[in-house]
Amino acid sequence: MYFPFMKKAVVLTCLYLVGFLSFFDVIAQQKTIKTSVLVIGGSTGGTSAAIQSARSGAKTMLIEPGTTLGGMLTSAGVSCTDGNDKLESGLWQEFREQLYRHYKTRNLFTGWVSETCFEPKVGDSIFKMMVNNEKLLTLMLETSFVEVIKTNNRISGAIFRNRQQEVIRVEAAITIDGTDLGDVFANAGAAYDLGMEDPVYSKESMAPGKFNIIQDITWAAILKDYGPGSDKTIPRPNGYDSTQFFCSCTDAPCLEGKPYNVNAAKMLAYGLLPNKKYMINWPAHGNDFIVNAVEKPVADREIYWKQAKGKTLGFIYFIQTQLGFKNLGLADDEFNGTGLAYMPYHREGRRVKGIVRVNVNHLISPFDQPEALYRTGISVGDYPVDHHHAPEKNAPHINFPGVPSFNLPLGALIPEKTEGLLVAEKGISVSNIVNGSSRLQPCVLLTGQAAGALAAVSIKHNIQPGKANIREVQAILLDAGAWLMPYCDVVNSDPAWRAIQQVGLTGIMKGTGKPQGWENKTFFYPDSTMILAELIKGLKEVRPGFKYATADSVKMVTMNDLKRVLTAFGSIRKIKNDYKPESLLTRRQIAILIDEAINPFSWPVDWQGHY
Environment class of residue 296 by beta-carbon count within 10 Å: exposed (0-12), middle (13-18) or buried (19+)?
Answer: middle
Q: Which SS3 state, helix, strand or coil, does residue 391 take? A: coil
- 64 neighbors 158 (Cβ within 8 angstroms): no
- Output the pLDDT for position 536: 96
Rounded to whole angstroms, the Cα distance separating 381 from 374 reads: 13
- Output the pLDDT for position 21: 42
User: pLDDT digits over 241-283, tens only?
Assistant: 999 999 999 999 999 889 999 999 999 999 999 999 999 999 9
CA distance from start to end of the chain = 87
CB atoms within 10 A of CB 220: 29
- Output the pLDDT for position 571: 74
DSSP 124-168: HHHHHHHHHT-TTEEEE-SEEEEEEEEETTEEEEEEEEETT--EE
Rounded to whole angstroms, the Cα distance separating 9 from 4 reads: 9
Lowest pLDDT segment from 133-147, 160-174, 550-564: 550-564
pLDDT at 383 over 90: yes
Helix axes 441-461, 470-479, angle to 10 degrees: 120
Helix (H) or strand (E) holding 32: strand 31-40
pLDDT at 294 over 60: yes
- Output the pLDDT for position 324: 97
Mean pLDDT of the chain: 94
| Contacts for 21 with CB less than 8 Å, ≥ 6 apart | none
Q: Which SS3 state, helix, strand or coil, does residue 341 take? A: coil
Helix (H) or strand (E) holding 301: helix 298-321
Lowest pLDDT segment from 215-219, 390-394, 542-546: 390-394
Q: Which SS3 state, helix, strand or coil, does residue 487 take? A: strand
- Output the pLDDT for position 446: 98
pLDDT at 20 over 60: no
Banded pLDDT at 397 (limits 50, 70, 90) = very high
Rounded to whole angstroms, the Cα distance separating 248 from 239 reads: 19
- Output the pLDDT for position 2: 42
- Output the pLDDT for position 549: 86
User: pLDDT digits over 60-76, tens only?
Assistant: 999 999 999 999 999 99
DSSP label at 357? -
pLDDT at 445 over 50: yes
Rounded to whole angstroms, the Cα distance separating 266 from 23 reads: 60
Rounded to whole angstroms, the Cα distance separating 534 from 554 reads: 9
Work out the angle at residue 353's Cα, subtended by the Cα atoms of residues 457 and 611, and round it to the nearest 5 degrees.
55
Mean local confidence (pLDDT), 26-46: 89
Mean local confidence (pLDDT), 181-201: 98
Radius of gyration of the chain (CA): 27
Banded pLDDT at 190 (limits 50, 70, 90) = very high
Distances (CA, A) of 333 to 9, 70, 311, 374, 381: 60, 18, 22, 43, 32
Q: Which SS3 state, helix, strand or coil, does residue 110 take? A: coil
Secondary structure of 502-544 in HEC code, one letter for each residue = HHHHHCCCCCEEECCCCCCEEECCCCCECEHHHHHHHHHHHCC
- 167 neighbors 159 (Cβ within 8 angstroms): yes
User: pLDDT digits over 458-494, tens only?
Assistant: 999 999 999 999 999 999 999 999 999 999 999 999 9
Rounded to whole angstroms, the Cα distance separating 270 from 280 reads: 9
pLDDT at 5 over 50: no
Work out the angle at residue 335's Cα, subtended by the Cα atoms of residues 349 and 270, and round it to the nearest 5 degrees.
70
- Output the pLDDT for position 574: 73
DSSP 193-208: E-SB--HHHHT-TT--
Q: List residues bridging with 221 in a β-sheet.
A: 280, 340
With a pLDDT cut of 70, the percent of the chain lying above it is: 95
pLDDT at 3 over 70: no
